[in-house]
């Protein structure tokens, strides 16, 4: 793994600062589903982690990928308790200066998207598989709001996570799930 393996969270939540009718500005939104769309030579392949009832019983779809192949990957976060499903990805993009998606895997991951400050977001990445086999891909959405007026999202966080584990990072994990990959 690229950094310390992480436990599967059964309930995940986004930390959007949405104001409710009572004026509470720190309501957490639920993330029930994470969808990874892999665009490679065989076309589009999806992998997902979904707990649409938010009852701790996720359905995991493991993608089958080709060995030693480059994939363009888009990451989507949804709240399927809402009807229609709420796309939390849009809120992550709107608050990109306070969010970053991290990946723990044996594959090589390169960030393709950046916030206004030039720091990686992780909703659009390139993943290059290695040799055939099975491995886990852990996806972590980290919320990194300012703390005492200082930015917590800074350069080098992915490298810090790889070296010292996700728990070494500032902020909190809004979502952390593991999706098995089959590489053929």
pLDDT of residue 27: 52
Distance from C-alpha of 69 to C-alpha of 172, rounded to nearest angstrom: 32
- Comparing 27-31, 92-96, 132-136, the range with the smallest average pLDDT is 27-31
The per-residue pLDDT for range 21-58, each reduced to its tens digit, is 334 344 567 999 999 999 999 999 999 999 999 899 99
CB atoms under 10 Å from CB of 83, counted, come to 6
Tokens of 176: 């952390």
Asked whether residue 178 carries a pLDDT value surpassing 50, the answer given is yes
pLDDT of residue 28: 64
- Comparing 6-10, 123-127, 150-154, the range with the smallest average pLDDT is 6-10
CB atoms under 10 Å from CB of 52, counted, come to 15
Q: Are 24 and 8 in contact (CB under 8 A)?
A: no
Q: pTM for the complete prediction? A: 0.86
**Phi/psi of residue 112, nearest 5 degrees:** -110, -10
Q: Are 1 and 7 in contact (CB under 8 A)?
A: no
> In the chain, which residue ranges form alpha helices assigned H by DSSP?
88-94, 157-164
């Amino acid at each position: 793994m690229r950094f310390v393996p992480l436990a599967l969270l059964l309930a995940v939540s986004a930390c959007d600062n949405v104001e409710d009718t009572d004026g509470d500005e720190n309501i957490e939104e639920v993330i029930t589903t994470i969808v990874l769309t892999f665009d490679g030579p065989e076309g589009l392949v999806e992998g997902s982690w979904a707990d649409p009832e938010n009852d701790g019983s996720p359905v995991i779809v493991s993608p089958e990928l080709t060995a030693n192949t480059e994939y363009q990957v888009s990451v989507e976060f949804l709240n399927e308790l809402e009807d229609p499903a709420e796309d939390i990805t849009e809120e992550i993009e709107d608050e990109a200066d306070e969010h970053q998606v991290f990946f723990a895997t044996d594959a090589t991951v390169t960030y393709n998207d950046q916030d206004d400050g030039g720091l990686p977001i992780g909703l659009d990445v390139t993943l290059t598989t290695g040799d055939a086999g099975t491995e886990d891909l852990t996806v972590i959405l980290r919320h990194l709001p300012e703390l005492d007026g200082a930015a917590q999202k800074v350069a080098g966080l992915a490298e810090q996570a790889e070296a010292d584990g996700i728990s070494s990072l500032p902020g909190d994990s809004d979502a952390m799930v593991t999706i098995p990959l089959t590489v053929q």
